[in-house]
Amino acid sequence: MLTVLLDGVAYGMLLFVLACGLSVTLGLMNFVNLAHGAIAMIGGYVTVVAMNRFGVPFLACLPLAFAASALVGLVLERTLYRRLYDRPHLEQVLFSIGLVFMAMSAVDFFFGASPQLITLPEWMRGRVEILGAGIGGYRLFVILVCAVIALGLQLVLARTRFGSQLRASVDDARVARGLGIRVGLVFAVTFAAGSGLAGLGAAIGADMLGMEPFFPIKYMIYFLIVVTVGGTKDLAGPFFASLLIGIGDVAGKYYVPEFGAFAIYTIMVAILIVRPQGLFGRAA
């Protein structure tokens, strides 16, 4: 019981790190980027390649994954996405689905369709006893790292100058620009950081999520659920939504496997019907 709960927490934390970038671009900047999973996938594959072909240790791969995804995100934002900020949602959806198709085929072409496996370091493979429940060392590592990231993000957004600039730019880009905030730069940095975090999440979770060409489509729906259910007021919403979905999904698949992912979609539709702005959202 507690093991299922802890597994769910690990999964949920991972979802949060993967999706928090999307919750800023989609939730705050109002840009529907379905290619977020594709950007995350880059980080995951960088980890796989670095570990399996070049023998880089797992921990050293994480910053690499972050950097690779952040760079791709930055380039995409500067060259393509910024032209689409004020387009209708539907065009953004189609554009980013196009990117997803391209990324999936490209990964299939270079790495094949089968899932890529990594070998975790020795010290992560053991089990740890917490409150009488066993949890894999890897899962514990995931929980701890993701918790640190979540706390750090909240601090950056709430306490730093950059955080206030971002919130100002999102609330009213024109006024923010008038106050001398370089809105374009703020958005670009935010987008890159969000992409980097997604890549980092995919790298950390490479063993749990499975790296395969279908990654972007498979998890896109989970990301979107996190963002729409969590709402966009602050990071706490998506965080609790991630935990809810992580625990709900793991528990659902564990206790009532015949329903599969049915439970999670039902929860999402029900929440959106009752509260269209999300559980913790503000009225639009």
Partner 1 sequence: MTRTPSAPATLLPGDRWRWPETFAWLAVAACYVAFPDRSGLIAEILILALFAVSLDLILGYAGIVSLGHAAFFGLGAYTAGLLAAHGWSEPVTGLLATGLIVAFAGFVTSFLVLRGSDLTRLMVTLGIAMMLAEAAGKAAWLTGGTDGLMGIVVDPILGVFEFDIFGRTAAAYAAIVLFVLLVAARRLIASPFGMTLRGIKSNRLRMTAIGAPVNRYLVAIYTVAAGYAGIAGALLAQTTQFVSPEVLAFARSAEALLFVIIGGAGYLYGGIVGAVAFKLMQEWLSGLTAQYWQFWLGLGLVLLVLFVRGGLGGLAFAAMRRLKAARRPAAPAAAEERRA
List of residues contacting partner 1 (CB under 8 A): 26, 32, 80, 83-84, 87-91, 93-95, 97-106, 108-109, 217, 221, 224-225, 228, 258-262, 265-266, 268-269, 272-273, 276-277, 284
Give me the DSSP letters along 28-42: IS----TTHHHHHHH
For residues 41 and 32, give the distance between their C-alpha atoms in angstroms, rounded to a whole number: 18
Of 42 and 62, which CB lies nearer to partner 1 in the complex structure? Answer: 42
* Closer of 119 and 266 to partner 1 (Cβ): 266
Residues whose CB is less than 8 angstroms from the CB of residue 153 and which lie 6 or more positions away in sequence, other chains included? 20, 197, 235
Question: Which residue has 């989970």 as its token pair?
Answer: 222
Q: Which is nearer to partner 1, 72 or 103 (CB)?
A: 103
Q: How long is the chain?
A: 284
CB of 108 to partner 1, least distance (A): 7
Q: Which is nearer to partner 1, 51 or 264 (CB)?
A: 264
Q: Which is nearer to partner 1, 120 or 221 (CB)?
A: 221
Find the shortest distance in angstroms from Cβ 255 to partner 1. Answer: 15
Least separation in angstroms between residue 268's CB and partner 1 is 5
CA-to-CA separations, 256 to 207, 232, 238, 242, 249, in angstroms, rounded: 24, 31, 25, 20, 10
- Rounded Cα–Cα distance for residues 97 and 82 (Å): 16
At its nearest, how many Å lie between partner 1 and the CB of residue 78?
A: 15
Query: Which amino acid is present at 266?
Result: T
